[in-house]
Amino acid sequence: MSLFTGSLYFGQVVIGPPGSGKTTYCRGMQEFLSHLGRKVVVVNLDPANEGLPYPCAVDISELVTLDDVMDGLKLGPNGGLIYSMEYLEANLDWLESKLKHHHDCYFLFDCPGQVELYTHHNSVKNIFAQLSKWNFRLTAVHLVDSHYCADPAKFISVLCTSLSTMLHVELPHVNVLSKMDLIEQYGKLAFSLDFYTEVLDLTYLVEHLSLDPFFKKFHHLNVKLAEVIQDYSLVSFVPLNVQDKESMTQVLRTVDKANGYCFGDREERNLQAMMSAAVGADFQFSTTLSVQEKYMEATGKTVEDEVMDL
């Protein structure tokens, strides 16, 4: 019999490629939610995570670590991560016994970064499915580094990976473009920022890609990939600067809508108070706006035009 009965437990499973900012996101979201008065715990499901920057309520390293698996079974990092997730799946009673101590909490699951775990391997998918059976209402928050927007070929690849992950994981899904505060370092975008967040007509992106002699011979393949993405019409992104309260609020509200979590009166008041104070130098939403305004110049639109469109 399950230890979770009667109550619903809400949370996020944070996934994405290595270096996309999952651990940083978990730390920032934990602090953000704590300021809102939400009781939140972080569960580390990444056996490769060392020196965690946040207080961790449940840590998979107590069960299995990547270094031990690699040394004991003579596996590489990828094989070690797959084995670790299979081992966790075989020992879900351990996870259940750890989670049961945290009632009335909001959960953040910091997951491994290996892409294969979310596109065609079943262990992580089965773990998420079991959490759902334990009355967890989870949203998959899929982080993608925003620097991929600066390279049309990489962006199409990211779209395909995101679509494959959404279809395989089978959870409410929110795609996030992380590190938006650093996007200017990666070069000028070919189109305005909303082209990438809303995944608008990819025909223009394919045409831009065909200007590269290396990709010109793959034009037909890229056209078909773009058609697959657009035919499903599932992929869009929420931009994120983890140091920006407005940006964190946008992501949180999108996640809460996806998993069915509803703001209580007390939390809503805390949120309004926090946002009214978001004028300090530590959280600069104007930075994100200035980036968006700069890349809107390519289409001749201004921020004011975008607001009027809304």
Examine the pLDDT at 263 and tell me if it is beyond 80: no
Q: Worst-scoring range by mean pLDDT, 176-190, 227-241, 259-273?
A: 259-273
pLDDT by residue (tens digit) across 159-192? 889 989 999 999 999 999 998 888 777 777 777 7
Compute the average pLDDT of residues 283-297: 47
Write down the pTM of the prediction.
Answer: 0.81
Which of 34-38, 154-158, 190-194, 284-288 has maximum average pLDDT? 34-38
Residue 271 CA: distances (Å) to CA of 170, 214, 281: 30, 49, 19
Strand-pair partners of 154: none
Residues of the domain holding 84: 9-186+238-277
In-domain check, residue 90:
yes
Q: Which amino acid is at 301?
A: K
User: Is there a domain that residue 224 lies in?
Assistant: no
Look up tokens 């990666």; give the residue.
186
Question: What are the backbone angles phi and psi of residue 112, rounded to the nearest 5°?
Answer: -65, 165
In single-letter form, the type of residue at position 127 comes to: I
**Is the confidence at residue 125, as pLDDT, over 70?**
yes
Domain harbouring 165, CATH code: 3.40.50.300
**Which one of 33-42, 48-57, 216-225 scores highest in mean pLDDT?**
33-42
* Domain presence at residue 207: no
The mean pLDDT of 63-74, rounded to a whole number, is 95
- Cross-strand bridge partners of residue 230: none
* CB 143 within 8 Å of CB 178: yes
55 part of a folded domain: yes
* Domain assignment of residue 268, yes or no: yes
pLDDT tens sequence across 199-208: 777 777 777 7
Q: Is 270 helix (H, G, I), strand (E, B) or coil?
A: helix
| Dihedral sign of CA atoms 44, 46, 52, 53 in order | negative
What pLDDT is attached to residue 284?
40
Residue 251 domain-assigned (yes or no): yes
Q: Work out the average pLDDT over 39-55.
A: 91
C-alpha separations of 99 from 54, 81, 138, 241, 300 in Å: 17, 22, 14, 30, 52
Number of domains, the chain: 1
307 in a structural domain: no
Please report which confidence band the pLDDT of residue 45 belongs to, taking 50, 70 and 90 as the band edges.
Answer: very high
Residue 291 resides in a domain: no
